[in-house]
């Protein structure tokens, strides 16, 4: 008892000095920012929701000359796009049954791109964020099945402790990316925040609540907002002008000119009564917003895939969709 009394003060000091588990879990934002920012004169590409379809991912990457050919093992992939930037706007897991191969390829392609002077930025989709918040969520069933078939515990992936490093990689991904005056994010609704405000809210929310943070998991968030029954920026009874202005102020608050989103492969109609067809990569409001989820996964089957290609051409910025066939179709041009 005497010895215990002597040790008690030291034990109490040790407990006070020991970091809490929540402090240990906090992300190191300097090395793993919530929002990646890049300024470049090089070509920029955007890829929407892959949803576990490895073969179709390979097809569109080869068609766009991002990679030279099927690498065989996904970790042997090579980068062919030089100093270009490719942004994937999330939802690369679930639905189809090749999520682990998709992850292996993307993890290998990132350092290959950097070695060539390029960048591959992969942002979180709602499927990744929801899995990290709850690895037993119903919509993650296909991914969980793959993990368990490899004797990987989904809970270990969600906490970033699996031996393969899958979870650690997933937990390091940004939520959004600004490339020049283009903002890439999964669903798009930033609630008229500025870039500093959005970054601060993401960091504060994730530091406190992890991937369960409201800033991510709210049904009207920047990774979950929907286009049905109406686009998330519209209000019932909006005129086309009111709809465009509300979206414009949301986009311009970020200090950019263009918003690029995935998450929405289905058909929907805008306030001006124009319709985006299911699986079609389109822009609206003269380049204000681009929709790059084309439902390429065979689990969705709206299309066989496409990438957005943004390039500078003698003072003009041109945006085209590159189809799985390799055909390029310009969909917008401007300053």
* DSSP-assigned letters across all residues of 251-268: HHTTT-SEEEE-S--S-E
Asked whether 308 and 64 are in contact (CB, 8 A), the reply is: no
Asked whether 117 and 90 are in contact (CB, 8 A), the reply is: no
In a domain, 329, yes or no: yes
* CATH number of the domain where residue 72 is located: 3.60.21.10
pTM to 2 decimal places: 0.92
Query: How many domains does the chain fold into?
Result: 1
Q: Please spell the DSSP secondary structure of 112-177, one letter per residue.
A: HHHHTT-EEEE---HHHHHHHH-TT-GGGHHHHHHHHHTT--HHHHHHT--TT-HHHHHTT--SEE
In a domain, 204, yes or no: no
In a domain, 4, yes or no: no
User: Could you give the CA distance from residue 24 to residue 28 in angstroms, rounded to a whole number?
Assistant: 10
Q: Is the pLDDT of residue 158 over 50?
A: yes
Q: Is the pLDDT of residue 22 over 80?
A: no
In a domain, 73, yes or no: yes
In a domain, 275, yes or no: yes
Q: Is the pLDDT of residue 1 over 80?
A: no
How many Cβ atoms sit within 10 Å of the Cβ of residue 313? 8
Provide the token pair at 165. 């490093």
User: Which residues does 294 contact at the CB level (< 8 Å), separation at least 6?
Assistant: 48, 265, 279, 280, 281, 302, 303, 305, 306
Q: pLDDT tens for residues 217-260?
A: 999 999 999 998 899 999 988 899 999 999 999 999 999 999 99
């Amino acid at each position: 008892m005497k010895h215990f009394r002597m040790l008690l003060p030291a034990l109490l000091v040790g407990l006070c000095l020991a970091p809490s588990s929540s402090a240990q879990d906090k992300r190191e934002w300097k090395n793993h920012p919530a929002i990646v920012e890049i300024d470049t004169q090089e070509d920029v590409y955007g890829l929407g929701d892959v949803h576990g379809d490895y073969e179709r991912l390979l097809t569109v990457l080869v068609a766009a000359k991002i990679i030279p050919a099927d690498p065989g093992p996904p970790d042997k992939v090579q980068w062919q796009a030089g100093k270009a930037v490719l942004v994937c706007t999330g939802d690369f897991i679930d639905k189809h049954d090749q999520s682990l191969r998709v992850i292996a390829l993307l993890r290998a392609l990132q350092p290959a791109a950097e070695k060539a002077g390029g960048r591959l930025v992969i942002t979180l989709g709602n499927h990744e964020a929801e899995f990290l918040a709850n690895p037993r969520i119903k919509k993650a069933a296909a991914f969980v099945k793959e993990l368990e078939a490899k004797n990987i515990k989904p809970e270990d992936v969600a906490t970033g402790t699996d031996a393969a490093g899958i979870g650690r990689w997933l937990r390091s991904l940004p939520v959004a990316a600004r490339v020049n005056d283009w903002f890439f994010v999964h669903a798009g609704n930033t609630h008229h925040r500025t870039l500093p405000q959005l970054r601060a809210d993401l960091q504060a929310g994730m530091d406190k609540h992890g991937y369960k943070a409201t800033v991510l998991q709210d049904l009207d968030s920047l990774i979950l907002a929907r286009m049905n029954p109406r686009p998330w920026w519209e209000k019932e009874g909006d005129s086309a002008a009111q709809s465009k202005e509300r979206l414009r102020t949301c986009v311009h608050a970020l200090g950019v000119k263009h918003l690029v989103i995935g998450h929405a492969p289905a058909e929907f109609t805008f306030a001006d009564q124009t319709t985006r067809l299911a699986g079609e990569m389109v822009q609206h409001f003269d380049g204000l917003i681009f929709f790059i989820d084309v439902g390429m996964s065979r689990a969705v089957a709206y299309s066989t895939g496409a990438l957005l290609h943004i390039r500078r051409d003698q003072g003009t910025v041109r945006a085209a969709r590159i189809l799985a066939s390799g055909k390029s179709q310009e969909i917008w041009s401007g300053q």
